Structure 1
Amino acid sequence: MRPFRHRLTALVALATVLVTAAPPTAASADDSPSRRAGYHRVGYFTQWGIYGRAFPVKKLDTSGAASRLTHVNYAFGNVSEDGRCYVDGAPGEGDAWADYQRPVPAEESVDGVADVWGEPLNGNFGQLAKLKAKHPGLKVMISLGGWSWSTYFSNAARTDASRRAFVASCIDLYLKGNLPVLDGGSGGPGAAAGVFDGIDLDWEWPNWPGEPGNVVRPEDRRNFTKLLAEFRRQLDAYGRKTRRHYPLTAFLPANPATMDAGYEGRRIFQYLDFATVQGYDFHGAWDAVTNQQSALRVPAGAPDTSDFSADVAIDGWIARGAPREKLVLGIPYYGRGWTGVTGGGNGLFQPAAGPAPATFEAGYEDYRRLRTLAGNGFTVHRDLRAGHAWLFDGTTFWTYDDPAVVLQKALYIRRSGLAGAMVWSLDGDDDKATLTKTISLGLATP
């Protein structure tokens, strides 16, 4: 731990200078740095990460990530066509095997004890329960929707009756833990009780195109607010019975046009404990030229006259009435890449032939693999003022966040008086949880 802290000392000093030297914006207008205790440090754990990425829940513990997080968001829970929370093992519908049926072997288990086939709570859910037992302050949230499973959110939110039924189904399934019984016996009434502490809504997006096939209606904008109100009402009612507070959070977009189309600005925050704001996917191989995917500020010379950045996204929400103390900035643990780059120079803002080859998806690569490219044919480039980094070997270009960029963002969060940081996704970090430790260091209180 000591060498890691020493390596970051210089980065702390550098990033402090960079953040304080930047011109003030709506988000950074506070003259005094925020010293508020209890920054949220939220990490998404992907259901499917246990497969190709070989990232079981145990790695959150052994890497040191769990002790530095306040919330783990489990991605994702699905929404049915008739507007209910449900678990289904059918391809494309869910993975109940990963969620709570799979017997986790001893070497992947948080406590070193192997699951037995047919226990009520195996799989990721069982391991999250063990992780919480080892880290009592950690909250686990079920995140509903995501890019692929937001198809029927509009149906669930459409009427008073549909909202009541949807919220009740989510509380029953995830908070009360009443899981469907699967072959072999896993699941049953109360099987997952205590695993989840609250609900995160990841509707992508109300009244705005997301994945092709999503149901989109103009009334989604007002219905999203009504859905939050119904969640808050039922969560509070259930909490009065259990004497607990159940957090309600939401993932919000970076695009100002999406903000206006789908959200009633200030009104939604009266129901939310906090909201996480998309701080990535500003650009990618869908663009014909290389660019940044997660810069803190819009770089000088950007080819788009109206461009995206983390600062633009945060400013956009503040301008629409969001309280800064409820905004959590999203940080990527992956990069976006292009290949066939021409034009020379450092590769930025240059024409490209298409997405760069990668491990799981062309044009998308985890930080833990990108970090190994530096010095191995690739050169690291930085725009310190804009707050972003990229790798370039003369042909292939990757825009990504490394520890220096992540630390700069953590200090921006402090200075801007924001609520904390969120990361997508935890399986993209290296085995030492370097990026998560960097966020924790940057948001540490004296």
Structure 2
Amino acid sequence: MSMKRWGAAVTAGALSIGLLVAGAPAQAHDRHGSGAVRTVGYYTQWSFADRGIPVRYLVDNGTAAKLTHLNYAFGLLDEQGRCVSSDPVADYRRPFTAEQAVNGRADRPGQALAGNLNQIKQLKQRFPKLRVYISLGGWTGSKYFSNAALTRQSRAAHVKSCVDLWLKGNLPGAPAGAAKGVFDGIDLDWEWPATEGNPGNVVRPEDKRNFTELLREYRVQLFTQGLRDRRSYDLTAFLPANREALDRGYEVEKVYRLLDFATVQGYDYHGTWERTTNQQSALRVPEGDPTTPPDSGEIVVDAHLQRGAPRHKVVLGVPYYGRGWTGVTNSNNGLFQQSTGPAPATYEAGYDDYRLLKDLLADGRYRLHRDEAAGHAWLFDGTTFWTYDDPIELERKGRFIRDRELGGAMIWSLDGDTPQGELINGLYAGLHRR
């Protein structure tokens, strides 16, 4: 950036920070503009250890070249609300072989940075336009967000700890600044303010207001750190599909103003916490859906827009996994039928990755069904039912995002795609093909 452009950025940023300190929700900087389409993918801390999917997989199957943003999930918070690594071995200590590494070279003993973070650093060197964020929290990692957001002092301490750990790159047991430059921003996955989410989470009624105040504190400290580093840092958040959780936990219009963009839950509308089979990620409500209130991508997007979200900041989530039931009544091709419980699966009952579910069609027992009007697909063999998104449905969702002029698509999670990149190719075609 030239000195003239940097000076202009500092002046504009200082004005925004002044508004934030005064209590007004300043407009967050949006480098992509209202006409850009983002493709945001989550890569998880456990993708390699649990699934054997290293970061290099994203290069080999063509995903990395099609992403604008990568979210690394997850960093956690301790009981005091400070940012910590929940798995230092996975994050920055595990060595990778030449065959596993993005750059094709084996890690050396004693190097300053190893693990997933070093692989992401190599990915950024290969794809320099890719923006990478550390995602904090998640479904099982949101227990102490309420503590972090509770007071002005706790918010300041929380953000400072996150900036120090993830942006300055000061990792425990590693040389100072070992991970500096890996991350371009922070993504907050607090599930959910003022609503319990995972059992045992700390929840307070004042979480709604405190979430907004937490975002303001992030904006101030990210701007300050950006001045030191002569660059800008982004701020995003994952927001719910559930309208009750949205209204209870978020000052929606203020939140969107403080974020560069938000990723919106576009899946888990239904799952094996219910005994009746159903779609988990349809674009529109299928005919005959027995649930009240109904859920769909269209309903969720409209809910955010109606509450003040700018459409170019709404990034709709899409799943690279399916949800399944077994003991299903053999009627209506298995849809909207009673079950006896979750289907057997590879990683957890009732949940499996697309790259594995795709193989169910190979032995001829399962049939593929599709609702063109509602925009969802499922597999059924007479007793076991899987709802999932295949390349056709992801292309359909890409077209929906493009036609509605939304901010893009978010993927949970990238390790669910095939070695051929079938899902990213379908989604990318929908987002970009005219």
Deviation at 1:118, TM superposition (A): 2.6
Q: Would you say the 8 A contact 2:391–2:425 is kept in 1?
A: no
Indicate yes or no: 2:126 matched with 1:134: yes
Q: Name the counterpart of 1:344.
A: 331
Greater RCO structure (CA 8 Å; 6+ sep): 1
Task: Determine which of 430, 437, 444 is the counterpart of 2:418.
Answer: 430
Q: Would you say the 8 A contact 1:343–1:351 is kept in 2?
A: no
Provide the rounded CA distance (Å) in 1 between the counterparts of 2:405 and 2:259: 17
Q: Name the counterpart of 1:394.
A: 382
Q: Name the counterpart of 1:404.
A: 392
Deviation at 1:374, TM superposition (A): 2.2
Task: Determine which of 242, 247, 250 is the counterpart of 2:237.
Answer: 250
Q: Name the counterpart of 1:81.
A: 79
Deviation at 1:36, TM superposition (A): 6.4
Provide the rounded CA distance (Å) in 1 between the counterparts of 2:118 and 2:171: 12
Task: Determine which of 41, 57, 60 is the counterpart of 1:59.
Answer: 57
Q: Would you say the 8 A contact 1:346–1:392 is kept in 2?
A: yes
Structure 2, unaligned runs of 5 or more: 1-32
Task: Determine which of 271, 279, 287 is the counterpart of 2:266.
Answer: 279
Deviation at 1:193, TM superposition (A): 0.5
Task: Determine which of 117, 129, 144 is the counterpart of 1:152.
Answer: 144
SS of the residue 2:46 aligns to: helix
Provide the rounded CA distance (Å) in 2 between the counterparts of 1:38 and 1:395: 44
Deviation at 1:110, TM superposition (A): 0.6
Q: Name the counterpart of 1:100.
A: 92
Q: Would you say the 8 A contact 2:34–2:312 is kept in 1?
A: no
Indicate yes or no: 2:211 matched with 1:224: yes
Deviation at 1:279, TM superposition (A): 0.5
Indicate yes or no: 2:186 matched with 1:194: no
Q: Would you say the 8 A contact 2:283–2:298 is kept in 1?
A: yes
Provide the rounded CA distance (Å) in 2 between the counterparts of 1:51 and 1:174: 21
Deviations 1:227-282 (A, max 9, x none): 01110111111112222111100000000000001000101111100000000111
Q: Name the counterpart of 2:20.
A: none
Task: Determine which of 91, 114, 128 is the counterpart of 2:106.
Answer: 114
Deviations 1:391-446 (A, max 9, x none): 00101000000011101110000111100000000000101111112222222277
1:281-296 to 2 correspondences below 5 Å:
281-296=268-283
Identity %: 58
Provide the rounded CA distance (Å) in 2 between the counterparts of 1:118 and 1:162: 36
Provide the rounded CA distance (Å) in 1 between the counterparts of 2:244 and 2:35: 33
After superposing the two structures, state which structure 1 stretch, 35-44 or 266-275, moved more: 35-44
SS of the residue 1:106 aligns to: coil
TM-score (norm 2): 0.91
Provide the rounded CA distance (Å) in 2 between the counterparts of 1:156 and 1:188: 27
Moved over 6 A (4+): none
Number of equivalences: 401
Provide the rounded CA distance (Å) in 1 between the counterparts of 2:429 and 2:297: 20
After superposing the two structures, state which structure 1 stretch, 428-437 or 68-77, moved more: 428-437
Structure 1, unaligned runs of 5 or more: 1-34, 88-93, 182-186
Deviations 1:286-333 (A, max 9, x none): 111110011111111001131111111111111111111100000000
Indicate yes or no: 2:159 matched with 1:171: no
- The amino acid of 1:424's aligned partner reads W
Deviation at 1:343, TM superposition (A): 4.1
Provide the rounded CA distance (Å) in 2 between the counterparts of 1:354 and 1:320: 36
Indicate yes or no: 2:309 matched with 1:317: no
> Please, what is the CA RMSD of the aligned residues?
1.2
SS of the residue 2:334 aligns to: coil
Provide the rounded CA distance (Å) in 2 between the counterparts of 1:406 and 1:445: 13
- The amino acid of 2:66's aligned partner reads R
SS of the residue 1:148 aligns to: coil
Provide the rounded CA distance (Å) in 1 between the counterparts of 2:110 and 2:89: 11
SS of the residue 1:52 aligns to: helix
Indicate yes or no: 2:218 matched with 1:264: no
Cα distance change of structure 1 residues 391 and 136 upon mapping to structure 2, 3 Å threshold: same
Cα distance change of structure 1 residues 212 and 403 upon mapping to structure 2, 3 Å threshold: same
Q: Name the counterpart of 1:69.
A: 67
Q: Name the counterpart of 2:9.
A: none
Q: Would you say the 8 A contact 2:330–2:382 is kept in 1?
A: no
TM-score (norm 1): 0.88
Deviation at 1:37, TM superposition (A): 4.8
Provide the rounded CA distance (Å) in 2 between the counterparts of 1:130 and 1:240: 25
Q: Would you say the 8 A contact 2:160–2:221 is kept in 1?
A: yes
